[in-house]
Each structure stands twice: as C-alpha cells, then as structure tokens.
Structure 1
C-alpha cells in the first residue's frame, strides 16, 4: 500500500480583469501510470500563450514513457522540453506581434516513488509545504541571480526585468529564451503539499498564510477561502487568481474482516 494518497484540485477567479488569461490543469498519462503533472500558465494580455503551454504539456506528457525505476534526470528533461517547445510554438503564432501572447509557467510532476520535480518560468510560483510550514518556494529570485551571474546584467537592472522586453522571463519572448528554474525533492510523506499559483494569488498572502490554508482545509475549501480573501485584500484591483493544490494524506487504515 502507498504511504499516502493524493487529494488535489484546481481553481480560478477572474478577479477584476476583463478576461481570464490563466490556465491550469492536473494531468495523467497513459504511458506513466501513477504519475501526475500539474500545469499552471499565466498569460500577459492574452490566453494564447497559456493555451499553447497547456496543450504542449499534455502532448509531451502523454508521449512520455517511464522505465522500471523513476528517473529524475529524465523528468527534468521533460519539463525543460515542455517549456522550450511551448515557447517556440508561441513565437510561431501568426498573431504573436499583435497580441503579445507571453506566458509565465509552473510545472510539477509527482512520481509513485515519493518524488517531486518542478519547474518555473516567470511570475508564477511553486510552494512546497510540510504541514503548516512553508518548506520551499521557487520564484523569480533565481532568474535575477541568473541575469547577474550568467548574463552579467547589473543587479539593479536585473531586478527590473519584468518591465523590460529584452529581459522578461516568459514563454514567447522574441528577444530572449526562457530561463527554467528546476527543483527536486524526494521522500514525500503524508502532510506534504504543493501549491502552484499565479501572482493574482501569491501577492495577497504571506508564505505562512498559504501553508496554513492548505494544511487546514481540503483543496476545494482552501481554494474557496484563498480566492475570497484575495478578492477582499485586492480592494477592487485583483488580477486573475489561479491555483493548483496537491495534498498528500495518509490512506485510511485497512479494515479487518
């Protein structure tokens, strides 16, 4: 019997924007039994980029064939390939110039062996929680460090990359390929949880608030409460608010007959 079972869900709210440009999904694959892929894409001005990111994620995950033992390097390659292919296809879209279909992206794979691999591009976030504690968070800081150390961009300029078309870390940027931050964690157990979310959610909460909301509620309840509180705190200026919540819980004890 597995050491845990998965409780998961996704949720979205348009906020105070004219349209919903985020996309989110939890995917399984016929060639990877027991694996789960969570995808969250946050669009800039358009849903074209997120739609492509979601489609590419599904296609490459469906084609992914696992071996007898989970292979973490291959999973990292899979997530990197999703980012690169989606980026290239977005740039090829004939209405790219007019619509600016850029997209931030967060990806998370869970394996049946208690492992997690996740990737991040842009202003989406991936959180790993242990109980009510925020154990790990991946965000744009890694990209700022990459710009400074690899591209030799001055620190102050690197911190302003969101406002620069030349430096923006997004899928579909014709000036720069996306930088992918990758993380791996092994030894998952009951009480662990993950949250993928767009900036319409995370900018309204502390890490500790998010961890507590996920730990104390089912994914559906947590999503409802977080969306309600985000709308309250945004005070009429809320962005699209999107999330995927994955909780690992202890399986029910076996009943002896």
Structure 2
C-alpha cells in the first residue's frame, strides 16, 4: 500500500531563560518526495548557543535546496551541512565575544530511503511499530563510558558528567560525524529527533511506545508534558521532530510521488 508521511516539530523553553534549541522540517523546493528534518542544541552563553544552532538550520536548508540526487550522495550532502555549519560557527567567535557551540542531528527522507548524520548528544531514533530499531550514539563522555562497558543505561541517565560532550560544532576540533541510513521503508517506521532536554527522561521503550501509539503532534505533546513533569522545575530546553510513515488514505497523494505532511 502507498505511504504518506505524518510530521511534527515542537519546542519548549523548559526552565531556562533562553531558548537555544532550533528545530525545523521542510520539503525540497523542487523534488517531490524529499524532505529534511534538522535539530540543533546550542551552547555558549547568552545568545551564543542560539546563534550557533540557527546556523545549523540555515546551512541545512541552503545545502538541501542545492542537492542533486542524480550526482550527489546523501552522505556527502549531510557531511557538508555539518562541516560548513561548524566553520561558520567558529568564525563567529572572531566577530563576537561569545563562544558558540551546537549539536546537530539531520535527517533526509527521499523515496524509499532515509539518511541521517549527527554530532554531539542530540539523538535520532528509528522505531518500527513500538520496537526500537536503532538510535544514534552520543558523542559524550557518558556515551563513551557506555560503549566501553563501564556504565549501564540507568547509571548514564543520572551521571554527574552527562552533559560533557566529546564532539560538537564550533569547537577547536573537527566535528565527529555519525551516519546512518535505512531502506525498504514500511508503514509503521517512525523517526524521532530530539535534544537531551527530552530524551534524558525516557527509556527507549517509552519513546517508541508513545510515538507508535499517537499521531505525531499528540505524541510530541505527551512527551514534552512528561519530560516537564519529570524535570521537577530543573528542565533544559526541549526540541523534538517526529516523522511517521503511515498507509496513505484513499485520495491522499503518496510517496514517492510527493510528501504529505501533517503538523
């Protein structure tokens, strides 16, 4: 059966004074069936983090609009977005008194395929129904300890150095990039992009169950409400994007002829 796409983006200030997360979702301007979701968690003092995160979104839109799938690989596009945004963010350090940094997670959907890249500890989850197929691995101290088997998932969520990043955009080191892709998409596949202001309060199973059970917009609202309650007045900025593949109702245009979105 043909597929269509149900989407949502959402943010919440949390208990911070400034919103430094950025999240956006947009179709390709001339190629039906293609869309991009981008999420960035900015860091760097007053306004600096917001400026860094905004640069990720700007560069994603610019490069995606120029993308030519007949002559350019998805991985090349995604890496160019992160690397060029990193360079722009670094240059702003010389033109301002701020020290801006940002995470990045970017997903590109085209007919029959999804590709993604990430840097930092903002995450992408791929669910199939209520099962977690995969998720990105954090470029963080805690993430590295987990990969070495020195820390389990439960301990990681409460580790005092959970926010220490080993790679991000805007630092002196070149950003470390993590790539992924999936083909043969089916109804029931869904993708969640989120900052640590959301995922820090949930297990993978909880996230998968909520995204599977509710339409994208309702799922985002429920996850944000639960994160706010669990933060107990000490929550970070929250940003989230949900992309769900569902069977196309009769009369609805389906992939790959075009992307239909609901926000």
**Structure 2-normalised TM-score?**
0.83
- Asked if the contact 2:120–2:140 (Cα under 8 Å) also holds between the matched residues in 1, the reply is no
Aligned to 1:40: 39
Whether 2:58 is the aligned partner of 1:55: answer: yes
Which structure 1 residue ranges, 5 or more long, are not aligned?
Answer: 150-154
Which of structure 1's runs of 4+ aligned residues deviate more than 4 A? 94-97, 141-145, 159-162
Shift of 1:79: 0.2
Aligned to 1:5: 4
Residues 43-97 of structure 1: CA distance to partner in whole angstroms, max 9, x if unpaired? 0132011011110001000111222xxx8x7001100000000000111115676
Aligned to 2:255: none
SS in 1 for 2:190: strand
Q: Which moved more, 1:88-97 or 1:242-251?
A: 88-97
Which structure 2 residue ranges, 5 or more long, are not aligned?
Answer: 152-158, 253-263
- Residues in 2 aligned to 1:211 and 1:252: alpha-carbon distance in whole angstroms: 23
Query: Aligned in 2, Cα 1:94/1:172: closer, same or farther, shift over 3 Å?
Result: closer
Residues 98-119 of structure 1: CA distance to partner in whole angstroms, max 9, x if unpaired? 322100000001111x211011
- Residues in 1 aligned to 2:139 and 2:104: alpha-carbon distance in whole angstroms: 15
SS in 1 for 2:97: helix
Shift of 1:31: 4.0
Query: Aligned in 2, Cα 1:231/1:63: closer, same or farther, shift over 3 Å?
Result: same
State how 1:189-228 maps to structure 2 within 5 Å.
Answer: 189-228=186-225
Residues 181-238 of structure 1: CA distance to partner in whole angstroms, max 9, x if unpaired? 0001111110010000000000010101101111111111011111110000000000
Query: Aligned to 2:229, which of 229, 232, 235?
Result: 232
Residues 141-199 of structure 1: CA distance to partner in whole angstroms, max 9, x if unpaired? 69966xx99xxxxx99xx979647xxx311000x2010000001111110010000000
Aligned to 1:152: none
- Residues in 2 aligned to 1:142 and 1:7: alpha-carbon distance in whole angstroms: 31
Aligned to 1:250: 247
- Asked if the contact 2:140–2:163 (Cα under 8 Å) also holds between the matched residues in 1, the reply is no
- Asked if the contact 1:90–1:96 (Cα under 8 Å) also holds between the matched residues in 2, the reply is no
Query: Aligned to 1:137, which of 131, 135, 138?
Result: 135
Aligned to 1:128: 126
Query: Aligned in 2, Cα 1:220/1:96: closer, same or farther, shift over 3 Å?
Result: farther
SS in 1 for 2:121: coil
- Residues in 1 aligned to 2:173 and 2:163: alpha-carbon distance in whole angstroms: 13
Query: Aligned in 2, Cα 1:161/1:10: closer, same or farther, shift over 3 Å?
Result: closer
- Residues in 2 aligned to 1:120 and 1:77: alpha-carbon distance in whole angstroms: 13
* Aligned length, in residue pairs: 236
Aligned to 2:116: 118
Q: CA RMSD in A?
A: 2.6
**Structure 1-normalised TM-score?**
0.84
State how 1:82-93 maps to structure 2 within 5 Å.
Answer: 82-93=81-92
